[in-house]
Amino acid sequence: MSIRLPEYFTQPKALMINNALARAIRNHWPLLLATGVFGRLFVSAVGACRGQNGGRFVYPIDDSYIHMAIAKNVARHGVWGVTRFAFGASSSSPLWTCALAAIYKAAGVHDLAPLVLGAGCALGTLWVIGWIAVREELPWFVTAVLLLGVVIGAPLVSLAVSGMESPGQMLIDVLFLYAAGRAAAGRILSTASGAGLVALAALAVAIRYEGLFLVGMACLVLAARGRWRLALAIGLAALTPVAIFGAVAVKHGGLWLPNSVMLKGTRPSFGSFREARYALGGRAIDGLIGARWVGSLALAAAAALLTALWGRRKASGARPSSPAIPMLIISLGTAILHMQFAEWTWFSRYEGYLVVLLMLSIAVALAGVRIGLFQLPQIEVAKRIAAFATVAAFILYPPLSHGITALGEVPTASQNIYEQQCQMARFVGRYYSGDTIVLNDIGAVCYYVDIRLVDPVGLDGVEIARRRLAGTYRTALVGDIARREHARIAIVYERFMKLTGDAPEDWRPIGTWRILNNMVCGDDVVTFYALRPEEVPLLRAHLLEFNPGLPPSVVRRMSP
C-alpha cells in the first residue's frame, strides 16, 4: 500500500510560495492595483508638498493643526483645548483627536502622525471594500472600477494627505453601512456581529457628527424591516458620544456640540420664500447640483434602487438576502440629509464619505451583472462590458474629474499654509511665546507655540460662539475680550473683521503679509495689529526684523 504525502511535502517550498502568490494576484488583482495606485499618488503628493515648502511637509489645511494642538495638550497636560490653559471645543472629530492624543502619549508628539494615521485608514478602507467585493461576489470589472473610483474620486489620496479624519470616517462608515445593510436584508446576526454594529454606530458619530445622518437612516430602514430592537440599540449608541462630549463641554461652560459644528451647521428658517424652500429640501437639491461629484452618484444610486426594487418584484429568483437595496436607501438618504444640513467643499473633506458610500452601494447592486454574462458568446460579453464601461464613465466623470483637480491643488494648498499659518507660528514663537494673542486661524500657531488665545471666529471661545449663534456678534466684543485678557497683538484677516464692524479703535495696524494663489486660507492678506500703545514700536521692530526671512513669494507691507 502506498501512502500519498500532502502536496506541501512533495513540492519545493519556492514553488508553493509562487503558486500562492499567483493565486493571490489572480483573485485580488483589483485591490492590489488600487493599493499600488494609491501608494504611488500618495508618495507623489507628499513629495510635491515638500517641494513647495523647501523640503518640509505641511498639511494643506490649518484645521489639521487644530486636531494636533488639542491632541498635544491632552497628551502632555490633560487639557482638551488648542491651548493648555483652557478647555476648547474646536474639534469636530473627538475620536480622531483622541487617536492622535493616544499616539502622542505613547510615541511622542510628531508632525507626521496624522499623515501616517490617515494613510493607514485609507488603505484600510480599500481593503475593507475589497473584502466586501469578494464576499458579495462582485464581477472583477465592477470591483476594479469601484476601488479605483474610490482612490481618485473620493478623493482618498488628497484626504489622506490632509491629515484630517476623513479616511478614518470612510473606514468606519463603510463597515457600518455594509453591516447595517446585511442586517436589514434579513441575514441572521450573531451576538458578536450585533454588538459590532452597535459599536460601529457609536464610532461613526464620534469620528464625525455627520455620522448621525448615516445611523439615522439605518435606524429607519431597520425599523421598517421589523428590526426595532436593533434600530433602537444603534440609535442609542450613536447618541452616546454626543451626550458624553456634550456633558463634558457643558461642565466646562461650553455648548452641547463642538463650536465648529454649531457655527457651520444650518438651521431651518421660514422668514422668506427662499428660506422656506431651503428649509424644505431646496438646500439639499442645490447641494447635489453644486457638488456634482456627489449628485451624479446620488442620481445613479436612485436609478439603481428603482431598478433593484422593480427587478425583485418581477423576479422570484432574486437574492432576498442581498444588502444592496438597504445600502442604496441608507447611502442615498444620508447624502440628502448631509446636503440639507451640513456643508460641502472643494476639497471634499466633508462630503468625501458620501462618494465612497454611494459608489459601494451601487457596486453591490451590480453583483447580479455577472449572472449569465459569461454564458454568452465572447462578442456579446465584450459588448456588455463595453456598455458597462460607458455607463460607468458617464457616472464617474464628475467625481473623478473633481478628485483629479483636488489632487492637483494639494501642493498649492500646502504652500498657502506654509506661507501664512506656519510663518505666523514662527513669528509668534520668536517674539510672543507665552503671551495672549488674537488669532483668526488658530491651528498651526497653537500647535507649534505655547500661547494664550483670543479667537475672534469663535471656534475656541464660547463667549464669541454664543454671540455669533445669536446673531449679535460685533468685533467690538473681541476688543473687550482682548483688553480683559491683556492681549498684546492681533494677527487677523481684516476683511473678516469688517463683516461685523471695523477693528476696535484702539487697535493699530502695523503691517500685512499677502500670499499669492490663495486657495485654502481665510484671506490672502493677514494684518498685524498692536493692541496697546507701548506695543506699536515693538511690533514694528519685530516685523522689520522678521520679514526678510519670509518666503520670497510673501508680499510684505508696513503701515506708515
Q: Give the DSSP H/E element, type plus range, for residue 527.
A: strand 525-530
Among 440, 352, 408, 410, which residue's Cα sits nearest to residue 60? Answer: 410
What pLDDT digit, counting tens, does each position of 418-448 carry? 999 999 999 999 999 999 999 989 999 999 9
- Predicted TM-score (pTM) of this structure: 0.91
Residue 24, pLDDT score: 59
Q: Is 250 exposed, middle or buried (0-12, 13-18, 19+ CB in 10 A)?
A: exposed
Any idea what DSSP says for residue 329? H
Average pLDDT for 504-518: 94
Between CA 152 and CA 444 the distance in angstroms is 28
What pLDDT digit, counting tens, does each position of 235-293 carry? 999 999 999 999 999 999 888 889 888 887 766 666 676 767 777 788 899 999 999 99
pLDDT at 340 over 70: yes
CB contact at 8 A, 42 and 161 = yes
- Cell numbers at residue 9, please? 511535502
pLDDT grade for 2, boundaries at 50, 70 and 90: very low
Residue 266, pLDDT score: 67
What pLDDT digit, counting tens, does each position of 441-468 carry? 999 999 999 999 999 988 888 889 999 8
Instruction: Let me know the angle formed at the C-alpha of 448 by 445 and 453, rounded to the nearest 5 degrees.
Output: 40
pLDDT at 372 over 60: no
What pLDDT digit, counting tens, does each position of 7-36 carry? 544 555 555 455 555 555 666 899 999 999
Residue 16, pLDDT score: 46
Between CA 327 and CA 378 the distance in angstroms is 33
Average pLDDT for 209-219: 97
Average pLDDT for 138-158: 93
Residue 149, pLDDT score: 95
Residue 368, pLDDT score: 62
CB neighbour list of residue 6: distance below 8 Å, 6 or more residues apart: none
Q: Chain centroid to CA 94: how far?
A: 13
pLDDT grade for 482, boundaries at 50, 70 and 90: very high
Average pLDDT for 118-133: 97
Residue 461, pLDDT score: 81
pLDDT at 206 over 60: yes
Between CA 343 and CA 351 the distance in angstroms is 8
Average pLDDT for 180-192: 82
Residue 460, pLDDT score: 87
| Coil/strand/helix, residue 517 | coil
Bridging pattern class, strands 525-530 and 489-492: antiparallel
pLDDT at 5 over 50: no
pLDDT grade for 318, boundaries at 50, 70 and 90: very low
Between CA 35 and CA 337 the distance in angstroms is 31
Average pLDDT for 26-54: 93
Residue 270, pLDDT score: 64
Residue 376, pLDDT score: 58
Among 220, 214, 191, 155, which residue's Cα sits nearest to residue 399? Answer: 155
Can you spell out the DSSP letters for 437-473? EEESS-HHHHHHS--EEE-TTSSS-HHHHHHHHHT--
| Coil/strand/helix, residue 513 | strand
Between CA 148 and CA 131 the distance in angstroms is 15
Question: Which residue in this structure is represented by grid cell 463650536?
Answer: 259
pLDDT grade for 394, boundaries at 50, 70 and 90: confident
Higher pLDDT, 84 or 191: 84
What pLDDT digit, counting tens, does each position of 61-108 carry? 999 999 999 999 999 999 999 999 999 989 989 999 999 999 999 999
CB contact at 8 A, 38 and 123 = yes
φ/ψ of residue 508, rounded to 5? -110, 115
Bridging pattern class, strands 436-439 and 489-492: parallel
pLDDT at 321 over 90: no
Average pLDDT, the chain: 89
Between CA 286 and CA 294 the distance in angstroms is 12
